[in-house]
A and B are shown apart, each in its own frame.
Chain A
Amino acid sequence: EPEVTQTPSHQVTQMGQEVILRCVPISNHLYFYWYRQILGQKVEFLVSFYNNEISEKSEIFDDQFSVERPDGSNFTLKIRSTKLEDSAMYFCASSLQTGDFGYTFGSGTRLTVV
């Protein structure tokens, strides 16, 4: 079964440093997403991306966040200057179309900001 792959599985960074979280969506999917889950809390939407541009973003996705699809396979989330409260599990997801068609989550990257 096709999978969404995320790397690294765990990243520790110093406060103020930049981090890049990487995702490889399912190859024929067209829509890409990032979600965040702070420990013990619900999964929250960050951003969706289609046709090489952001299609929607939440209020969490402020100027310190950016996304990019640098090539035909990777989808990245960059956090420019990490804060302690950015510590969370970050999930990438992809889907074939709008709606639920094959909406698949990656295994997540646990980001710890110290």
Chain B
Amino acid sequence: GENVEQHPSTLSVQEGDSAVIKCTYSDSASNYFPWYKQELGKRPQLIIDIRSNVGEKKDQRIAVTLNKTAKHFSLHITETQPEDSAVYFCAALPLSNQFYFGTGTSLTVIP
């Protein structure tokens, strides 16, 4: 099955700086890559996603890049704010209809 790895596991940045989280996947058939933000005790919330036919997608301060050849995708948050502090999960969706999640990155934005 698919295997998704995520780095780093923890990340601290100063408010206003950028944060980058990276994921790799193993199944070349995976074609959809969402990113979720999860606040403590709450459900994962979709923040951005990218499909395999696109290399980059941006939504205000958040962007995702995908390199299909290398099988990796990254989340970029610019101008970070304290409310960006949360756990972020990447995921991949192969031909089976189940998401495979990364192990999560705990992001702390220091005011």
Q: Which residues of A contact B (CB under 8 A)?
A: 31, 33, 35, 41-45, 48, 55-56, 58, 89, 91, 95, 98-100, 103, 105-108, 110
The interface residues of chain B lying within 8 Å CB-to-CB of A103 are: 34, 46, 99
B97 lies within 8 A of A31 (CB): yes
Q: Which residues of B contact A (CB under 8 A)?
A: 31-32, 34, 41-46, 49, 89, 91, 93, 96-104
The interface residues of chain B lying within 8 Å CB-to-CB of A41 are: 103-104
Provide the main secondary structure of the chain B interface: loop
A108 lies within 8 A of B98 (CB): no
B42 lies within 8 A of A48 (CB): no
B98 lies within 8 A of A48 (CB): yes
Q: Which of B34, B97, B99, B101 has the most CB of A within 10 A?
A: B97
Instruction: Name the contact of A56 in the complex, choosing from B43, B44, B49, B98 (C-beta under 8 A).
Output: B98
A9 to B37, CA, bound (A): 19
A91 lies within 8 A of B32 (CB): no
B99 lies within 8 A of A45 (CB): yes
A100 lies within 8 A of B101 (CB): no
Q: With both chains docked as a complex, state the minimum distance between the C-beta of A64 and any C-beta of chain B, in angstroms.
A: 20
A25 to B31, CA, bound (A): 24
Instruction: Name the contact of A99 in the complex, choosing from B32, B41, B43, B103 (C-beta under 8 A).
Output: B32
Instruction: Name the contact of B42 in the complex, choosing from A35, A58, A107 (C-beta under 8 A).
Output: A107
A89 to B91, CA, bound (A): 18
A56 lies within 8 A of B102 (CB): no
